[in-house]
Each structure stands twice: as C-alpha cells, then as structure tokens.
Chain A
Amino acid sequence: MAKWTYSDKVKDHFMNPRNILREDNEADFHGIGLTGNIKCGDEMMVYIKVNPDKLTITDCKWRTYGCASAIASTSILSEMVIGMTLDQAYAITAKDILKELDGLPDNKVHCSVLGDKALRAAIDDYYGKNGMEDRIRTKGAKIVCECMQVTDEDIEHAVLDGVRSFSELQDMTKIGTGCGECHENAQSVMSEYIQKHFGL
C-alpha cells in the first residue's frame, strides 16, 4: 500500500485516540472549552481538571468532530498538557501541536489551530469559575469568524503587524476560510482597526 497522507504520529493518534471523554461526566471537570463549529467541519471540546493549589492540569479529556488531523491534534494536545501549569498550557500554540504531530499537510493546519484555542477557552473557563477573571486574556475579545475562531483582537494584532488587505489577513489568520459567512463583518472590523491605528 502506498504511504499515508499523514505522519506515523498522526496515524497513531487517529487509530488510538487518547483521553476521550467517554461518559457524560462533564461535571467532574473544572474547565470546559469549546471551539469551532460543525458547519465548518471541525468542532472541539476540551475538558480540564486543575489542582487549585499548584494551578496545574491534572487531567485533560476531549471530544472532537472532525477529520483525522483534528482528532489526532486534540488527542496529542491532551497528552501534552497533563502536568503543565495553567500558564504553560496557555502558551501552547498551533506550532507546538504541529511539531508534536511531526507536521500536517498544509490544508490541514487549521485543524491544529483549533486545538490550542479550545484549550485556552477551557483554562479561561476555569479562571472565570474561580474568581480569577483578571487572568483571562481573551476577555472582551469578540469572535468574528466562528469557523476559524478568529477574534477582533486577532484582527487588531494582525493590523498592527502590518496587514492591510483582506487576503493578507486571511493568510495570517485563516479568517473567513470556512463557511464564508463572516466576510463582510471581518472586512469592516479590519477597516475599523486600520482607521483607528493608522487613520487610513
């Protein structure tokens, strides 16, 4: 048989996914994060248990609707974060997940982007439930693109990084590459930030 499209690591996690949340025992978890949306083809839910003294993650479970790379990236993420402090886990990026997976095909990279966002959402959820709202970094950020989970803050940062056109913004954030429903709004949010920061 010819070679698989994916790395052996991805194949392994796809064939034997780790840490799936099997029962409906969501209540046992301290933080839950949901990202993506089935309409766009990927949806991920991450559940964490936290040691309140050390602020470390003691358990991480998940559910994912999506393709092989979405399943594998949530699975590997769940292994990576157990034992980490919340700060360390918060800092995980899509790149870190990609590295652990030994890479993904280009058109699949967005799947790993969702994993780290779901994790941050779970950590934020924990902070919110435990009186640590001040630590929520995405607080106030509004999601502009549901499919790719891009917020207005992401757009602002992109503009500050020099993005001026919608196609540049798409290259950087993948915004609007799912169902496409957010295009108009995304463009106007981008224009607002360009106006705000550069008066153009």
Chain B
Amino acid sequence: MEHRTVYFDNNATTPLHPGVKEALIEGLEIFGNPSSMHGFGREAREKIEEAREKVASFIGAEADEILFVGSGSEANNTVLSLLHCDSTRCFCALSGRSGLVTTVIEHPCVLNTARDLGRKNHAVTYLSVDKYGRIDLEELRRAVTDKVGMVSIMMANNEIGTIQDIKAAARIAHEGGALFHTDAVQAVGKIPVDVRDLDVDFLTISAHKLYGPKGIGALYVKKGSPYCPLILGGHQENGRRAGTENSLGIIGLGKAVELRALEMEEEEKRLLELKNILKDGIAKAIPDTLFMGHPEHCLPGTLSVSFVGAEGEAILLYLDLAGIAVSTGSACASGSLDPSHVIMATGVPVENAHGSVRISLGRENTLDDVQYMLHHLPPIIDRIRTMSTAYRRR
C-alpha cells in the first residue's frame, strides 16, 4: 500500500477548514481596535459582533450571552473562579456556597483548577464514573448539598468520547440550588448543542477543536447568571474579559461555527460509519483488544482502544513511522509516569491504560484512511507483542 499521511488525532486539535482559512486571510486586513470609534475600529467591531451572532445561534443562545476568551482553558478557569469571588468588585457572590462538584474525568484545565480550589479550602467533590465513563446521577444528587455553588461536568470526554446526560445533570444541580457549567469543548461542532434545551448556566467552546484557529474560545454565560471576570483591565467584552479582542481569532471561530452548522450533521454521520468500519476491522484482525468509552453515548468520530501486551507509546511511534497520527493514554507518552486518569477512572486494569490508543476522526478523513490504518495496525501490534514480556499467543 502506498505511503500516505493520515491524521487521526482530531480530538487533540483539528486542521483549519479551508473556508476558515480563507476568512482568516481576508481578516488579516482588519487591524483596527474594536474599541475605537473611528471607521477602522468600527469595521473590526462589526466583524466581532457578526461572529458573536454566529456562535450564539449555533448553540441556541443570544449574542450578548457569548463572550470571547483566549482558549477553552481560560473559559473553564473563569467559570470556576466565580467560587472564590468575595464580591468586593462585583455582585456575584454565591451566597456562601463555595463548594464545587465535578468529575474525575475532566480535562486538566478543570481538574487542576478544582485542586487549586481544594487547596484554598473549598469543598470539592469529584464524581466517579462507570466503566463507560458515565457519571451516576444519583451520586450527583447526593453531592449537591447546600454548600455547593457550582457543578461542572464535561459534556463529552476528550479521551474516550463518552457523552454525559447534561440536561439531567443541570436539572439536578439547579434543584440543589447550584449553578451548572459544562465544558463542551469536545462536543460543540460534533453533536447538536442547545443551551436553552440543556438549561446550563455556563458552557465552554474552543475554536481549534472545530476546524477553527488555536488560542480562541467562547464562553456562554446565561443572561442573569452571576459573573465575575478573571482578567481585569479594560472594558472589553462588556467588562467581562479585559484585553483587546483577538479579532482575527474571533473571525475564525465565527466562520468555523458557521461552517459546522452547515456540515456537521452529514459529516458526523459519515464519521460514525467510518469509525464503525475501523472498529469492526480492528476487532476482526487483532485479538485481545478492549474498546473503551460508551457504546452508544459516544462522540461519532472517537474510538478508544487498548491492546493487551502492547504499550501505547510504542504503538504511537510505529504508527507515526507509517504516517498515521494517533494519541495514547500511556504514561510513557505523557511525560509523567501515570497513565491516563480518564481510562484509570473507568476501572480498566492499569496495563490496559498503558496500552490505550485514541483514534479521533475528523472531516478530512476518508475510507482510504481507515483502510490504510487497518492495513498497518495489525502487523504493528503483532510486532510489539512478539517482543513483549506481557503477551503470550493462545
């Protein structure tokens, strides 16, 4: 089979959509400060507000409920920081409810912020997940005490693709008197998201996961929700996020969601079909594999799989030599010595976590890519197992 490059790491980041690239190139001409009243400024302002409309309509929000931030990480940090607002500069105090409820499988930008809150004496509860990576709603109900100000639960997991029942979780949080935030970075652009239907108070979006540029995100803040800026300074974004707007990034994000609105439904259907071909092909060609993530409530293009006796970094690097890009939950590849906290949380044995690979498909992937993968992966696993201490053929 002829050598090709196959990008199967779309949950890490996505290539720019050609339409976004075009919009960015045009946008490079726009340099005015959106806060300026003259023509240059007004032109930039207009583009930003257009983008805001697009993002809002994509998730069923009003334009003034969307604020632009520097990344998904910043959006998540901003929301959690409300818990230690002392109300000296705003009126967002959560009336003494300083506790946080989140999950053990959040992205590090939520988990590390939660740990930091814990160190500052906030009560933080980490909900566990079942073997598919789903939380238990009854556990959530018990966790939302009258000390809890915020519940933060990711909509879709970046490693295993599992999707939570956010609507039910938000209802439980509200019944307990807490605010509800969802990190929807992996969900928006892949599955339909409607903030009114879900009834969330805060929702995080990141452009580079939906074929937009890096370093730009959006935060949905439901009208009337308590809010307090993380970054203080000028009055940009209605005083909710200081710093001259990244107009180019915002233009890119606006274009990206506009294109997603047109293409998402068809494309994700196609990705799900491709993923199933890939999954069946792997299951048929390679013995002793374990598929992770929820069989049904899962992102269409995300496939998480572990191969007994084969270590993830070795798999990743052999695939890389064949031109295929994936990621792994192995400790060795992460730079730490711990395997993926997400996969460990689902209760799979630690050796499976070390041998896990995430294949995440995106809009540029084709059936040829899947076949190329199915051609290369089985011999690679076989080769690694041949030299492994941890695998014996049956």
Asked whether any CB of chain B lies closer than 8 Å to the CB of A128, the reply is no
The answer to whether A197 has its CB under 8 Å from any CB of chain B is no
Specify which chain A residues have a CB less than 8 angstroms from the CB of B321 in the assembled complex: 15
B3–chain A nearest beta-carbon distance, Å:
12
* Segment at the interface with A among B146-154, B240-248, B306-314: B306-314
Interface of A is mostly: mixed
When distances are taken between beta carbons in the complex, the residues of chain B under 8 Å from A43 are: 389-390
**B351: Cβ under 8 A from any A Cβ:** yes
Contact A64 B387 (CB under 8 A): yes
A179-B388 CB under 8 A given contacts A41-B339, A67-B311, A68-B313: no
B354 CB–A CB distance under 8 Å:
yes
Total count of chain B residues near the partner, CB < 8 A:
24
Q: Does A190 contact B (CB under 8 A)?
A: no
Can you name the residue of chain B whose Cβ is closest to the Cβ of A107?
B335
**A43–B311 CA distance with the chains assembled, in angstroms:** 10
- The answer, among A17, A34, A67, A111, for a CB contact under 8 Å with B330, is A67
Question: 0/1 per residue, A72-85, Cβ < 8 Å to B?
Answer: 00000000000000
Q: Is A99 an interface residue (CB 8 A)?
A: no
Per-position 1/0 for B317-349, Cβ under 8 A of A: 100010000000011110111010000000000
| A65 near B311: Cβ-Cβ < 8 Å | yes
Q: Map CB proximity to A onto B222-236 as digits: 1 under 8 Å, 0 otherwise.
A: 000000000000000
Select one of A64, A65, A71, A179 contacting B350, CB under 8 A. Answer: A179
Question: Are B331 and A68 within 8 A (Cβ)?
Answer: no
> Beta-carbon contacts of A10-47 to B below 8 Å, as 1s and 0s?
00001101001010000000000010001111111100
A103 within 8 A of B: no
User: Given A67-B332, A68-B317, are A177 and B337 neighbors across the interface (CB < 8 Å)?
Assistant: yes
Q: Does A164 contact B (CB under 8 A)?
A: no
Please pick, from A17, A41, A42, A107, the residue contacting B387 in the complex, using a CB distance under 8 A.
A17
* Smallest CB separation, B4 vs chain A (Å): 13
Please indicate the chain A residues that have their CB under 8 angstroms from the CB of B388 in the complex: 63-65
A17 to B317, CA, bound (A): 14
Contact yes or no, B389 A34, CB < 8 A: yes
B386: Cβ under 8 A from any A Cβ: yes
Residue of B nearest to A75 (CB): B387
Which of A39, A69, A147 has the most C-beta atoms of chain B within 10 angstroms of its own C-beta? A39
Contact A63 B337 (CB under 8 A): no
Cβ–Cβ contact A67 & B333, under 8 A: yes
CB-contacts of B101-119 with A (<8 A): none
Provide the bound-state CA to CA distance between A47 and B266, in Å: 55
Distance in angstroms between the alpha carbons of A48 and B387 in the assembled complex: 16
A35 to B44, CA, bound (A): 62
Q: Are B354 and A38 in contact (CB under 8 A)?
A: yes
B387 touches A71 (CB 8 A): yes
Closest partner residue, chain A, to B323 (CB atom): A1
20 inter-chain pairs at a CB distance below 8 angstroms, sorted by A residue, are A20-B386, A34-B389, A41-B330, A41-B339, A42-B311, A43-B389, A64-B387, A64-B389, A65-B311, A66-B311, A66-B332, A67-B311, A67-B313, A67-B332, A67-B333, A70-B332, A107-B335, A107-B336, A110-B337, A177-B337
Interface on A for B, CB 8 Å cutoff? 14-15, 17, 20, 22, 34, 38-45, 62-71, 107-108, 110-111, 147, 177-179
- Interface contacts beyond A111-B332, A147-B337: sample of 6 additional A-B pairs, CB < 8 Å, sorted by A: A38-B390, A41-B330, A41-B339, A42-B311, A63-B389, A67-B317
